[in-house]
Amino acid sequence: MPHHFTAAGAAGASQRSPITGRWHIPSRWLLAPLALFFALTIAGCGSQATTGNAVPSAPSSPSHATATAPTAGATAVNGDTASVVPADQRSPITAGDGRLQIHFIDVGQADSTLIATPQGQFVLIDGGNRDDDKIVTNYLQAQGVKKLTAVVATHPHEDHIGGLPAVLKRFSVETVYLPKATSTTKTFENLLNAIEASGAKRVQAKAGVVIPLQDITATMLAPLSNTYDAPNNYSPVIKLTYGKTSFLLTGDAETASESEMIRSGASLQADLLKVGHHGSSTSTSLDFLKAVSPTYAVITVATPNDYGHPHQKILERLAKAKVQVFRTDQNGTIVAVSDGKKLQVIPSRP
């Protein structure tokens, strides 16, 4: 995507987590109600301690960050039709309780994906536009993130890396993965400066690289070449596998990269495909879709946008392959949850 494109929506807008079902509201909106609350509390409080019936506060450690997952409504990868899980049918799920969560954050015509591993580690792939930085950092904080095991910057376009400097400033980051692609833009320069200031280790993203995580495998299947004409093809394509479930996260990789992966003989099959390049016709070739053979697909996109994404040709291709499609412009933030046996997809809205 061109580096100058800015996603719609104000950075300070409220954001709802599809897992918790809660709205995350700017603090200034809460000042008046909080003042009233404290006034009433002080007036009504005595010296007595709280009883054993009180609800304990959530632990602050990232490995115990609370979230919610469905108990009914969403489906496993058995071909049934997925559906929205009503808020009153959700039960608590804790990051680090043995389930994998992948959050496709709604940042408009941009990309940002948070991975919470079964052991409570966190990985962020891309950070949206620069104007999305508060949306992304607030969302991560709401999920209990304090430390990121890895950050992946897929390629030097603003709609993917613009918000990452704010992430690197706000959270502790162990390793940043970047492809060999470079750029002369101020956005890319800001990212490099932020990485250096953070003290994070920098690793080249390319085929064969494995992100060290507990209980899941995260292997880069692309890029396979050192140079490409289109910056999008530098995007690391990451295959996540947890038990019997698998996910393919493609960044903006286009057909040139897809063809290389097919020729490499890599195992591309996945239960869920993050559709390349926001549903552009430059990605998701018929051969690639057949090789992946997903049950579900997620498209990160805004409506309207200047590029006609997702292209009708791609939507028809997915429909013909009987792939159930979720879109951030229609469904808001989308979360996939796996216990290693079954996969559930939870959209924020129908």
Degrees to nearest 5, angle at CA 112 with 205 and 230: 50
Q: Residue 229 carries which DSSP code?
A: S
> Considering only CA atoms, which of 77, 94, 74 is closest in space to residue 85?
74
pLDDT of residue 350: 77
**113-143 b/e with 16+ CB inside 10 Å = b?**
bbbbbbbbbbbbbbbbbbbbbbbbbbbbebb
Write the CB contacts of 149 (distance below 8 Å, at least 6 apart in sequence).
117, 121, 122, 123, 174, 175, 211, 212, 213
User: Which stretches of 129-171 are assigned E, i.e. beta strand?
Assistant: 147-152
Stated as kind and residue range, the H or E segment containing 292 is: helix 286-292
CB of 152 closer than 8 Å to CB of 179: no
- Residue ranges of domains in the chain, CATH in brackets: 15-347 (3.60.15.10)
pLDDT of residue 188: 98
CB of 288 closer than 8 Å to CB of 255: yes
> Considering only CA atoms, which of 346, 94, 95, 123 is closest in space to residue 249?
123
Q: Which residue, chain included where needed, has tokens 């690793």?
A: 203
> What region does 147 belong to: left with phi over 0, alpha with psi -120 to 50, or beta?
beta
**156-188 b/e with 16+ CB inside 10 Å = b?**
bbbbbbbbbbbbbebbebbbbbbbebebebebb
pLDDT of residue 258: 99
Q: Residue 8 carries which DSSP code?
A: S
Cα-based torsion angle of the residue sequence 148, 149, 150, 151 in order, rounded to the nearest 10 degrees: 0
**Ordered DSSP codes for 43-88:** HH--SPPPPTTSPPPPP-SGGG-EEEEESSSS--SSSPPP----GG
pLDDT of residue 60: 29
User: 55: which 2 tokens?
Assistant: 């609800």
Phi, psi angle pair for 68, to nearest 5°: -130, 145
pLDDT of residue 78: 41
Is 20 buried (19+), middle (13-18) or exposed (0-12) by CB count in 10 A?
Answer: middle
Is 238 buried (19+), middle (13-18) or exposed (0-12) by CB count in 10 A?
Answer: buried
Which amino acid is it at 211? I
Report mean pLDDT in 10-residue bins for the chain, 350 residues.
38 50 44 40 36 28 29 39 45 73 98 98 98 97 96 98 99 98 96 98 99 98 97 98 99 98 99 98 99 99 97 99 98 97 93
pLDDT of residue 6: 34
Percent helix, strand, coil in the chain, to 5, is 30, 25, 50
